[in-house]
Amino acid sequence: MDFNIVMITLGVAFLLAVIMGPLFIPLLRRLKFGQQIRTDGPQGHLKKAGTPTMGGIIIMLALALAVLRFGEKNMETVILLLASLGYGFIGFLDDYIKILFKRSLGLTAKQKLIGQLLISAIVCLLLVQSGHSTDIRIPFFDVSFDLGWLYFPFIVFLMLGTSNAVNFTDGLDGLLAGTSAIAFGAYAIIALNNTQPNVAIFSAAMVGAVLGFLVFNAHPAKVFMGDTGSLGIGGGLVAVAILTKAEILLALIGGVFLTEILSVVIQVVSFKTRGKRVFKMSPIHHHFELVGWSEWRVVISFWTAGLILAGLGLYINEVL
């Protein structure tokens, strides 16, 4: 029965996103909510300037409506929606400022960090109230140890790191929508295996919402999700990893996101210490573009990598 509800939730979220697309995209265009493109990026991206952004509103609305309809009204649901919608709201403010002032940068790094820390702190408080275990499980070896109070700084770090890693991945048409659908699909399976229907329903709702959005975001994109979508997706992904007690496994299931943020860190450190760049451009998906790969080839390759990593994660977690 749980599996049937999970699949129905996925389908409803998908339909909601598909229905909302033709309603929101013309509205965003009329409001002139167009994407500002980095001039130092791949030159082929300049033609995307003006494409409606903030489409993450579609994802967040479809997600919330589906979860509230099919999920139980309990603390798990509150944590999941707070993490996703809270981070999505920070992204919304970031997107709105970019559009308002016609620039490629919105909130300052400090402002964004404060907002993310606030949402993360509230999530930690709710976890304490719900009696959430502070154990960390090492997958494959099936070894657990209690972090005690250190678990919560670890969760804050995980939320900040993952949400920004997911944000960096949102740079090509359909790239994040596809890779996030795969990651949430893996966590939906883990949640079902753990008999956590609420987490499975949330994960399935996110899969449906991003796949519905992908209908309009696949190359050539008619709309971009903006930080509204990418930060919301990142916050939700960490929340399901926390509640399924598969926090460490996130490094593998979300391996594409980890690679993206590591490429940025490596590039910055290398340039500041040696004066040399390791990649033609970071995040790494732009590097592949600049060596001659088509945008669609990069996206398909990253989707494939995400699928392989998710499969490995499920195997290590003894689900497959």
Binding residues, by number, are 167, 227
Instruction: Write out the binding residues for Mg(2+).
Output: 167, 227
Residue with tokens 């489409």: 55
**Rounded to whole angstroms, what are the CA distances from 240 to 42, 45, 80, 113, 197?**
34, 33, 7, 21, 12
The answer to whether the CB of 212 falls within 8 A of the CB of 16 is yes
Count other C-beta atoms under 10 Å from residue 106's C-beta.
22
The answer to whether the CB of 168 falls within 8 A of the CB of 283 is yes
Which of 65, 59, 99, 102 is CA-nearest to residue 231? Answer: 59
The backbone region for 292, taken as left when phi is positive above 0, alpha when psi lies in -120 to 50, beta otherwise, is left
